[in-house]
Chain A
Amino acid sequence: MRTVTTARSRYGMVIDLDRCTGCGSCTVACSVENNIPPGTENVTERTGITWMRVYEADDGKSFPDTHSVFVPIMCQQCGNETPCMSVCPQNAVEVDPATGIVGQIPERCLGCRYCMAACPYHARYFNWWDPKWPAGMEAAMNPDVAPRMRGVVEKCNFCQSRLHTARERAASTGRTAIDPADYVPACVEACPQRAITFGDLDDSDSFVAALAAGDRAFRFLSRIGTEPKVWYLSSREWVRNLSDRVVARTRKENVRG
């Protein structure tokens, strides 16, 4: 099969927090798509694997004045000094220069977890257990994604297997560039509220680039300078203030995630 050389793009995501209802569809769709195994009996929110994870954050006020917001967090695909990539001792993390996607190569991962310590978004997950599906349920695994093994780190890669599929489709129809409609990550597709937008940030005509440039847009921990490619939207000031500690420091801590 002829390979398609895609023009350089910088894939990114915009999540509208004013539309997120915290239903968890993105989390589940992500797990189905990427063959993430069901949690074991004694799994907790600290040892589970949820590439896409919904947190509930609030404005720090007490009952009855609390305002809350649901914040889906996945790998923020840092574009500058990608913290996890530079620390990995054996190049198991790679940033694809053609797409800007921060990819994890689990087959090469030693499981030292240094990248997890490096990630400010806690978006990396370690396989504390052997991956196990209930008897027979292997038949319901995604044939496009290889399951990982115990002792390696994994994370969101913007459903890279779908990018490959889109490229194959483009190649088979003789196109050199993929059709943007062919490459949509599972969480974007699954969100019942259409809160997530995905696309090429470098394409000035794309919806995602327009949203990211809007007044409602912000990024988490942007001050540490890693240039994440995931933006969030909110019309509420207190939600935008969740971006950095410096601006949110007056609030008390009172969250779950």
Chain B
Amino acid sequence: MQVTRRGLLKFAGASAAGILFSPLPWKLLDDIAIWTQTGPWIPKVPRGPLTTAFSTCALCPGGCAVEARCAGGIPYAMRAAVRHTAGRGALCPVGMTGHHLAYHPLRLSGASVIRRTSDQVETDSLSTQEAFDRILGALNTRPLATGVAVIDQRPGRTLSGQFRAFLAQQSPGYYIVPDDDRLRMHEAFSNACGKDGLSLGFDIERTATLLTIGTPVFDGWTRPARTAALLDRRHDARNPLKLIHADPRRTRTSVLADQWLPIAPGSETALVLGLTNIVMRDHPSLAARYVADLHTSDRRGMLDVLSLFTPGIVAKRTGIPVDTLEKVGSALAHRKPSMVIAGGDAAGPIDRDTHQAVAALNILLGSYGTPGGLLHRDELPMPATKMAAISTIGDVPDGSISLLIIDGEEMTCSTCWESIESKLSPDGHLVVSTSPFLTQLSAHADIVLPSPAPYETAAEVVGDPTDTVVSLSISTPLLPRKQGSVEPIELLNHLSGESVAMQELLKQRIALVHARGRGMIAGYQDGSGHRLSEFASADEIWSAFIEGAVWTSPPLHETPAHSYTLLGHSPNIVDRWAARAEGEPNGNGADGQVILLPTASSDAASCGRISPLMTKIYQESEVRPTRAHLVLHPDTGRRCGVDDGDQAVVQTESGSRHVTIRFSASLMPGVAQLSIGPDPNVSGKKSEFAGSDVFRNTLSRSPMAGVTAIVRRA
């Protein structure tokens, strides 16, 4: 057969036409379509059998019950265990992403030596054994008269008891806890009733009038289920809650409170004393009942101070009209039960004198020891004996620490480095951190022995400290423990030459709880409650905990003390209170001067590490303030010469920060709000630790007093 050109062309043409009737070109088109829809760079979703597991969120002491949805045994989503009554099916956004922390970009892979340059933090790895030896060396060869200290950011755990037992054998050994509002409140009440070792919880579920002084009740101050209960109480038909929030800052709590008292920065003491004055003056019966009957030793002295805080003076100092003050005072006195809560903000504690005034007002209102007020908690027993005393960083003499261990800072960092620095021995010191991530404090350590991330180990959760109900549960491990992580107990074993397992210690504590016989255990799967007596041993309780359960114990019914000292035992408190009647004026924006107020969300991670996904509520929407946004009233901003959206610099005595200006007419004129809270966009970069910041040593001042700052256009 002869092949002609024409024939060839015909054949080609017919083939082309024919092929259109085959699936080939259409499949090809579809394949091209699919090819444009995928790419090797798009992450692949995990595969494996889908299961659920129960655990307890250990990110904050709140201890919410979680149900983890897992693929191939690895959790991919967390939700509240809905049937569980104690957790009441609520999780905060941080808790919802707790399983992400194991993958945090700043996670340390093993024992590390930290090197700080002026603007960078570098890590060099070393073996765990080497790290142990260096720490042991520092312990054994420490200079005379210098001591060992442990900063425990999460006191009350079994591990805390072990630290205290270890420190009791050192001379000197300092056990340091955060100098926070809870500690200060207990101090104030101890002063007032002459009783030590108090543990109080707030019975907000039954309060009718609640005055919060800067307490971020809607910003993660307590676990979300209690916040929901608080909201329910506002719609209660019989005795609805009235929430009055005093704070110079416009926060979510200010927005959601029934009444916001925008007090002038630093005037919280004056407000409390002014309200005390109104209550004493208008309701002598109340004063007589709670003060005269209870044999208060110092009513006269108190009245003398209060005479300085007349409604007129307080109105001038706080900027709250006399009329409003009178109404708030009246609500506190009449709408019972009433209670005043001060502080509890992640931005730092308020000062001791204010706490003393708040304690006095609470005693006067009869809220101490009565339902709807402050109740005694049935505190957990501690397995350790002979423990070092509890102190705060301020109690430690300067230059006296040569070995410092910082534990539990990964989620909270309520002790700032500036307050620690001066306590270290000038003749050499070693700072050890157990944080799984680089954080503000671990970045200042010499050695970091990273502890396991959340859900990588059976962690103890001691329960919401603001609650009247005490609880205990174990965070069931859901993730494989990362190679190179070190449990803090291993370090302690190495230093003390013992070999105790954390699990055994936890079981010892559970055995003590079991022996006391009080409280109930509720399972997460079905929400069923069981008496403690239904469990034969600590091991059984442990198993229940691992499957997802919590032990809770209601508040104790202790009779209130019969004698109070409203003025406390603090020397010169009368003079210091009296000085609060006059105050500094607000910054008025002239010359760019403002009062800079720190804000922070107090939930599971007040300023620690949070999931990278939290950009959704920080950068990608305006739900939470980032560290890069300075919020001002438009009038204040214009006086500072900045406009909405401008790039600006805010400068205080201690440092400066580049910010973007954001105007909000709902803010108090003369102030500016700046977040110190976590910022998923800043964290993850080592430059985060560079330089000094505008809020150096926030502990020394109430976050509601703020600092003077200058704002200028960048």
Contact = CB atoms under 8 A, between A and B. Distances in A.
B37 interface: yes
Q: Is the interface of B mostly helix, strand, loop or mixed?
A: loop
Interface string A180-204: 0000001001101110000000000
Nearest to A68: B255
Interface string B492-504: 0000000000000
Given A45-B621, A48-B621, A140 B103 contact: yes
A141 B99 CA distance: 11
Contacts of A50: 616, 620-621
B686 to A, nearest CB: 13
A63 B231 contact: no
Contacts of B76: 32, 139-143
Chain A contact patch, size range: 35 or more
A33 B102 CA distance: 18
Contacts of A70: 252, 255
Which one of A19, A70, A190 has the highest number of Cβ atoms from chain B below 10 Å of its Cβ? Answer: A190
Contacts of A132: 43
A192 B228 contact: yes
B621 A35 contact: no
B145 interface: no
Interface in A96-150: 107, 130-147, 149
B128 interface: no
B622 A137 contact: no
A228 interface: no
A28 B615 contact: no
A39 interface: yes
B70 to A, nearest CB: 10
B621 A54 contact: yes
A53 B45 CA distance: 24
Contact of A38 (B42, B90, B612, B665): B612
A43 interface: yes
Interface in A36-91: 36, 38-39, 41, 43-45, 47-50, 53-56, 58, 61-64, 66, 68, 70
A134 B103 contact: yes
B86 interface: no
B651 to A, nearest CB: 24
B231 A19 contact: yes
Contact of B619 (A21, A45, A149, A256): A45
Given A23-B92, A107-B37, A190-B91, A63 B633 contact: yes
Given A24-B624, A39-B616, A138-B44, A143 B97 contact: no
Contacts of B100: 137, 140
A24 to B, nearest CB: 4
Contact of B621 (A41, A62, A257): A257
A192 B662 contact: no
B665 A147 contact: no
A28 B93 contact: yes
16 contacts: A23-B623, A24-B93, A25-B93, A31-B613, A38-B612, A38-B680, A45-B621, A45-B622, A48-B621, A55-B622, A63-B669, A64-B262, A131-B43, A134-B105, A138-B46, A142-B77
Interface of A: 19, 21-25, 27-29, 31-33, 35-36, 38-39, 41, 43-45, 47-50, 53-56, 58, 61-64, 66, 68, 70, 107, 130-147, 149, 186, 189-190, 192-194, 254, 256-257
Q: Top 5 closest A-B pairs, CB basis?
A: A48-B620, A39-B615, A192-B90, A66-B666, A192-B224
